[in-house]
Chains A and B, each alone.
Chain A
Amino acid sequence: MHFLQPTTWDEALEARAGLPDALPVAGGTDVLVDLNFRRRHAPALIDLGRVPGLGEVSAENGWLRIGAAATYDRLMTALRRDFPALAVAARTVGSPQIRHRGTIGGNLGTASPAGDAHPPLLAAGAEVEVASRAGTRRIAIADFFTGPKRTAMAPGELISAVHVPRASGPQQFAKVGTRNAMVIAVCSVALALHPDRRRVGTGIGSAGPVPLAAVEAERFLEGVLDEGGLWEAPRPLGDAVRGRFADLVASAARPVDDVRGTAAYRVHALRVLAGRVLDWAWADYLEAGAGREVGAG
């Protein structure tokens, strides 16, 4: 097995093109587990840690560009205002040691249905920027996950960044596990209100073969907010709306029983959490009141 340590992005893409079966490694918090347990064999490892600027977070034209090598540490602190759902999710990942090394690019590359960054990315309508020697393209997050630990990336591609519209409204993330720290999610949910586009975004984790968006729930809530003029003049939503939204989120899940939890619990927990994150996000929206940029749809 070879160890390659490119010092520029072009070198990294060259290496990736030359050895399509090579394992790219950034923080190593997933890849090293497989290597330590001899579960993965590859002709080479490509260490992305020396590529300058790969972890930078920048903003332009109302969009955030989050470099693939941005660590959870970074995400926790840099995104509080512009992508709060991901900042909250980043805090739930592993431990300080893990958060110092683990990256958003790694989370996407591993594409576990339990990846903590995925539900916020879905809720925010992110686009994954991937690059190869042939060029750069973007994959909508909803199209990115094609199966458990499988992505829409082509051979020779590396994740360079994630693009996300800056938060125009409240966002929430909640993740439940069997103990109070260091858990792989039993299930998780993200919610983002986008008043600038009059859209609602959701993401569900660990409750299906891939991270899922609760599309019906999104459309339902958008309908309620539109028809009631609630984007412009927010009022309390009421129990019926809350309950329906929660049911729709729960019914979008396709969970199984596994060693961490039962399918029945996941559905139940999603219903409870969906209601709560809606309460919290809407309460924030109510409190912010007028002066928020509300789009024309």
Chain B
Amino acid sequence: MKLSLTVNGEQRVIDDVDAGESLLTVLRDSLGLTGTKNACEQGECGSCSVYLDDGLVCSCLVLAGQAEGAEVVTVEGLAARGELDPVQEAFAQAGAIQCGFCTPGLVMAVHDLLQRVPDPSDGQIREELAGNLCRCTGYQKVISAVRLAAGRTNGHHGY
């Protein structure tokens, strides 16, 4: 089937999409937007998180056809005119990246969180990001990145 949708502000048309294909597959394989990752294909890890019409979803669980006519924003669409989004900048500054495989999904989730809750508490940060798994960082510096992006000061260093 044919699919038309807006991705990162650009109108895209893709032919030959299978009915059972996920939005994640279309983004990565048809559109070459490999920033969104496939780490579990079952919505357990959040590394495929994108905006679908302003709501944060796991793109591995959205049928391509369900995105017909929709506005999708991926991690590649966050930086405006070559400047990093404040969330992206905060991740880099706070040391919240190691292997980075979870980073696009987390950046999207943090971006979404701060749009809804500009000054989240620790508990809110943890609960709202619980759908994003990270294997490298232990999450502490990601929380620091959220606070940094939200305009608060960085956390405690032990030495």
Chains A, B in direct contact (C-beta < 8 Å) = yes
A81 proximal to B (CB < 8 A) = no
B56 near A1 with CB under 8 A, answer: no
The stretch of A90-98, A137-145, A223-231, A241-249 that contacts the partner chain: A90-98
Distance of A240 Cα from B117 Cα, bound (Å): 46
Of the candidates B44, B46, B63, B132, the one whose C-beta lies within 8 Å of that of A45 is: B63
* B131 partner, pick from A2, A32, A98, beta carbons under 8 A: A98
Q: How many A-B residue pairs have CB under 8 A?
A: 87
Whether a CB of chain A sits under 8 angstroms from the CB of B1 is yes
Main secondary structure of the interface of A (DSSP, over half): mixed
| Alpha-carbon separation in the docked complex, A45 to B61 (Å) | 14
> Is A98 within 8 A of B43, CB to CB?
yes
In Å, the complex CA distance between A45 and B55 comes to 23
| Least CB distance, B66 to chain A, in whole angstroms | 5
- Is B41 in contact with chain A by the CB < 8 A criterion? yes
Contact with A along B119-143 (1 / 0, CB 8 A): 0000000011011100000000000
- Assembled-state Cα–Cα distance A100/B116 (Å): 13
On chain B, the residues within 8 Å of A5 by CB distance are 65, 68
Nearest-neighbor residue (CB-CB) of B49 within chain A: A97
In Å, the complex CA distance between A101 and B58 comes to 9
Within 8 Å by CB of B58, from A35, A37, A97, lies A97
The 0/1 profile, CB within 8 Å of B marked 1, for residues 31-47 of chain A is 01101110000001101
User: Number of B residues contacting the other chain (C-beta, 8 Å)?
Assistant: 29
Closest beta carbon of chain B to A245's beta carbon, Å: 31
Q: Whole-angstrom distance from the CB of A137 to the nearest CB of chain B? A: 28
Residue of B at shortest CB range from A25?
Answer: B63
A31 to chain B, nearest CB (A): 8
Inter-subunit contact B19/A28 (CB<8 Å): no
Residues of chain B contacted by A290 (CB below 8 angstroms): none
| Contact (Cβ within 8 A) A182 B131 | yes
**Is A3 located at the chain interface by the 8 A CB criterion?**
yes
Query: How many residues on A have C-beta within 8 angstroms of the other chain's C-beta atoms?
Result: 26
Please, what's the 1-or-0 string for B49-76, where 1 marks a CB less than 8 Å from any CB in chain A?
A: 1000001111011110110100000000
Q: Which of A25, A96, A97 has the most CB of B within 10 A?
A: A97
Interface string of B91-120 (1 = CB under 8 A from A): 000000000000000000100100000000
Beta-carbon contact of B61 and A1 below 8 Å = no
- On whether A47 and B62 interact (CB within 8 A), knowing A3-B1, A97-B56, the answer reads no
B residues near A181, Cβ cutoff 8 Å:
127, 130-131
Q: Are B130 and A32 in contact (CB under 8 A)?
A: no
11 A-B pairs (CB sep. < 8 Å) = A3-B1, A3-B19, A3-B65, A36-B22, A37-B42, A44-B19, A94-B43, A95-B43, A95-B46, A96-B56, A101-B62
Q: Beyond A25-B66, A182-B131, list 17 extra A-B contacts (CB 8 Å).
A: A3-B63, A5-B68, A28-B62, A32-B60, A33-B42, A35-B63, A37-B41, A45-B19, A45-B65, A95-B43, A95-B58, A97-B46, A97-B49, A98-B43, A101-B58, A181-B127, A182-B44
Residues of A within 8 A of B (CB): 1-3, 5, 25, 27-29, 32-33, 35-37, 44-45, 47, 49, 94-98, 100-101, 181-182
